[in-house]
Chain A
Amino acid sequence: MPKQQSQSNPGEISSSSQESPPIFTDLEDTLKQIHERLGNSPDLNVRKYETLNHENHVAVMYINGLVDKELVDEYVTHALSFEEIREEAPSAADLFIFAKEKALSIGKEKVVEDQNSVLEALLSGDTIILFDKLDKGISVTTSGGEGRSVTEATTQVNIRGPKDSFTESLGTNIALVRKRIKNPNLWIETLTMGSVTKTDVSIAHIHGLAKEETLQQIRKKLADIHVDSILESGYIEQLIEENNYSPFPTLYNTERPDSVAGNLLEGRIAIFVDGTPFVLILPATFFMFFHTVEDYYQRYDITSVIRVLRFICLLVSLFGPAIFVAALNFHQEMIPTPLLINFASQREGVPFPVVIEVLLLEVTFEIIREAGIRMPSQIGQTVSIIGGLVLGQAAVQAGIVSPAMVIVVSLTGISSFATPAFNMALSIRILRFVITFVAAYIGLYGIAIVGLILVAHLCSLRSMGVPYMSPVAPFAPGDQKDIFLRAPLHFMKTRRRLLKNDKAPGATVQNSQGSRHEK
């Protein structure tokens, strides 16, 4: 509840609206105040210099760990010890101009004129140079410091295709995308969100491809967010979603730069949040969650088969246990006789009704899964072996569950992992329980009715104005080549109907998530 947080501890740093104390001409005073306002934090580094002509005092400060130390040493401190300072900068004002115009040869520098901006700059990793006898200072962009380097994606693993993934640094992330789309039309807007955390959030789109209305909508929605912290893109996701009461995610997230690039090229919009490798992509449709970017790297026929498999897995993981329960409890006539006898003999000793058996195993499975995720990866495997093999085997031998049930539950469990998007897999998992209950209550009829309601619900969702089930409902015949199957790349020459920017001249240019660019 970020909003409530802001009420419980008002003020503090979120004081940009309050009157900001000026930078005093006395350097010591300013330093003292800044120290105080940061709560005498030990990570604030202040180094005081005397210039070579012994007349001016300069303080360089930065926060440890937020800055690139090398940059500070090499350029900032070094710049202040130039020989020329002696002749050219006798006074503090001169020194200021000299430093700003000549000496500092890195990145951006900015003039700061009050303490609040000093603090803000410090906290975002800038180095501040303050001058004695002068009521302003310079802030130099030196942000850097410790961060994870670009590594292989951990949540969206692939066999073929680029292996890099986003990191926690916004700059790196945007650069990773830019490297893939060397086009001036890749536009990025940055805004700061979160009144306490001051997180940088960037909206990226390709000018001319993305729909202008969608962009406007996103800008408006982001502007309407008033919270004090944005720690992950999940905050934004939950705050801008249109359907809060739906189990289905309506925003896509990824940690793969190639996926972001591909989606940008399809006319979608990406939201980068500093501090997280997960980038939001919107508008998202239901079928996006079942596609992976690798689908476009493999041959179309293979991809098509795999996609069909994924949708089968979706059905299995949603309806598997439910259909099993319905068949065993309500529609015994639908099971072939030898199989039914088989089931019947397995169930002879089992003391529970089928539903309880299913729920027992399903919940056990969820426990094993949840425990396995939080464990270190070596122990995680042990957990799944103990849980899956030993528990399952023992439960069957103890006559608590029937072997067929173990098969059904593990099959559904594995099927749910075949959904590439984890958040979608989670929602499906929850819905599976609901459907199983209904099936235990009224059998196949209940499954059919819940299915109807579910499809109706999916059809009622929208993501940034785009119907969630598009292009199947509303049906767009031209867009079917990239839904259940994938057509060969040379057939994919048109853009998605509902994502298309109708006004842009380049709107008809072929550009799928694939790599072809044709004019």
Chain B
Amino acid sequence: MRKEVIGPFQLFAMIVLFELGTAVVVPIGLESGHAVWISILVALPGGILLFMLYTYLYRQFPDLVISGYTRKILGKWIGWPLSLLYLPVLTYNGGRNLREAGDLLISSSYDRTPIFIINSIMIIAVMYILYQGIEVFSRTSEIYFWLIVIMGMISNFVVIIAGLVQFKNLFPVHPGEWIEVYKSAYPNIWIFPYGELVCFTAVLPHFKTKNKIGRTGAGAITLSALMLSFTHAIEMSVLGPDIYSRTTFPMFTMITLVNVANFLQRLDALVILTLIIGVFFKMSIYCYAAVSITADLFHVKEPRKLVIPVCSVVLYSSFVSAENYPVHMNDGKVFLENILPFLCAVIPVLLFVVHLVRRRFGWYR
């Protein structure tokens, strides 16, 4: 079979959709209060740096997914078990995303529908698209990139013309708060959503224009950071720090307040669509990463065969991982602070250093 390739714009769209994913709908960086939008921007350089790290490794091993070059760099005996670690994390995180979507959908309009149904419908779509291959997936994300951009513009525009935005909720940022801004930016926002880009190490081997990778990635991350920051700034300025910090779904709460001329109101559908699309793409990339790492580790020739089992695991983990939303959120905190940084930052940095050393001293056979 022909090797599937993706182009620069497709990668761009995928990164943006992935970054926006759940981050655009759930409240993030609560520690920094009303300055969350600054935190997002402050974490941006770190995010780009991290992505550059991944692209460096990709340039060194353009045909390998992360587990492949981990084994190359650290040797088979350390590399194999270390890359095996990615599997539970990726599936768990994919499951978490699914769970979040399910919970938000249930609390916002499907209060009588079992979460199992909501999640399995979503996972069926993910299975379908992954079964079609990464190329189809990337093309779909191109189309949905535009859709998300247009919907984002509409909803922000509507909120602004409804006169709900009160910029005084955003300013001023007092000197003491800057410390909190940094604290929530690093490591929390740095890892979620930027660090999660580690999934793209599984997508990058399909990227065909190697020399454009840096520009594409940095551009996409910057754009998504700006969009995230803007959206969260709007949410914060409409809701105020108090409601923002208590709500589970600030974007939804924000849009329910909209009422322009008694006609443009109740645009909840836009937000629900944004949520579905964002989670769908984010989760698909998680599943894809899990599939290709599994295929690489266990030498499965036809990765497609793994789509159904991996997605089933994700589905299963989505509803057994926590019994309710608060537990889910608390688990997430632990996970975000202790496990994700290790996989998103520590291992890649380790790989980078070892690779440099080995190359410097010519320790590659």
Contact = CB atoms under 8 A, between A and B. Distances in A.
Chain A–chain B contact at Cβ < 8 A: yes
B216 to A, nearest CB: 13
Interface class of chain B by DSSP:
helix
Contact of A475 (B9, B105, B122, B272): B9
A472 B276 CA distance: 22
Interface stretch (A96-104, A329-337, A390-398, A404-412): A329-337
A445 B272 CA distance: 8
Interface class of chain A by DSSP:
helix
B71 interface: no
B277 A334 contact: no
- Among the interface residues B10, B136, B267, which one has the most CB atoms of the partner chain A within 10 A? B136
B265 interface: yes
Nearest to B132: A460
A469 B125 contact: no
Given A445-B110, A472-B142, A475-B142, A452 B129 contact: yes
A467 interface: yes
Given A331-B269, A335-B266, A448-B277, A456 B105 contact: no
A442 B112 CA distance: 11
A378 to B, nearest CB: 45
Interface stretch (B36-44, B113-121, B233-241): B113-121
Interface residues of A, number: 26
B190 interface: no
B272 A444 contact: yes
A334 B266 contact: yes
B79 to A, nearest CB: 34
A414 interface: no
Interface string A323-348: 00000001101111000000000000
B140 A446 contact: no
A442 B121 contact: yes
Nearest to B128: A453
Contacts of A446: 121
B144 interface: yes
A222 to B, nearest CB: 23
B110 A453 contact: no
A457 B140 CA distance: 9
B137 interface: yes
Given A442-B113, A445-B110, A452 B125 contact: yes
A473 B272 contact: no
9 contacts: A331-B268, A336-B263, A449-B276, A452-B280, A455-B140, A456-B129, A459-B139, A473-B10, A473-B142
B109 to A, nearest CB: 6
Given A334-B269, A336-B266, A445 B105 contact: yes
A372 interface: no
A320 interface: no
Contact of B140 (A333, A336, A448, A452): A452
A449 B125 contact: yes
Nearest to A459: B139
B143 interface: yes
B276 A442 contact: no
B110 A443 contact: yes
Contacts of B142: 472-475
A445 B129 contact: no
A369 to B, nearest CB: 30
A442 B120 CA distance: 12
A457 B125 CA distance: 11
A442 B10 contact: no
Contacts of A475: 7, 9-10, 13, 142
A443 B137 CA distance: 25
A335 B129 CA distance: 32
A472 B269 contact: no
B338 interface: no
Chain A to chain B: the 10 pairs with minimum beta-carbon distance, closest first: A473-B139, A459-B139, A473-B142, A460-B136, A456-B129, A460-B132, A448-B276, A334-B266, A456-B140, A459-B140
A444 B129 contact: no
B266 A333 contact: yes
B125 A453 contact: yes
Contacts of B128: 453, 456-457
A334 B276 contact: no
B262 interface: yes
Contacts of B125: 449, 452-453, 456
A449 B122 contact: yes
Given A442-B121, A456-B140, A336 B262 contact: yes
A387 B27 CA distance: 54
Given A330-B109, A459-B143, A473-B142, A444 B7 contact: no
B117 A442 contact: yes
Contacts of B110: 442-443, 445
Contact of A331 (B109, B129, B139, B263): B109
Contacts of A444: 109, 269, 272-273
A469 B105 CA distance: 30
Interface string A343-385: 0000000000000000000000000000000000000000000
A90 B7 CA distance: 78
Contacts of B273: 444, 448
A464 B330 CA distance: 52
Interface string A408-447: 0000000000000000000000000000000000111110
B316 to A, nearest CB: 19
Given A442-B110, A456-B137, 12 more contacts: A331-B268, A333-B266, A443-B109, A445-B105, A453-B125, A455-B143, A457-B128, A459-B140, A459-B143, A460-B132, A474-B139, A475-B13
B259 to A, nearest CB: 10
Interface string B76-117: 000000000000000000000000000001000110010001
A120 B276 CA distance: 63
B268 A467 contact: no
Given A449-B125, A474-B142, A456 B136 contact: yes
A448 B280 CA distance: 10
- Among the interface residues A446, A449, A452, which one has the most CB atoms of the partner chain B within 10 A? A452
A445 B125 CA distance: 12
Contacts of A459: 132, 136, 139-140, 143
Given A444-B272, A445-B105, A336 B136 contact: no
Contacts of A448: 272-273, 276-277
Contacts of A330: 109
Contacts of A333: 109, 266, 268
- Among the interface residues A333, A442, A456, A467, which one has the most CB atoms of the partner chain B within 10 A? A456
Contacts of B144: 452, 455
Contacts of B13: 475
A330 B109 CA distance: 8
Nearest to A468: B139
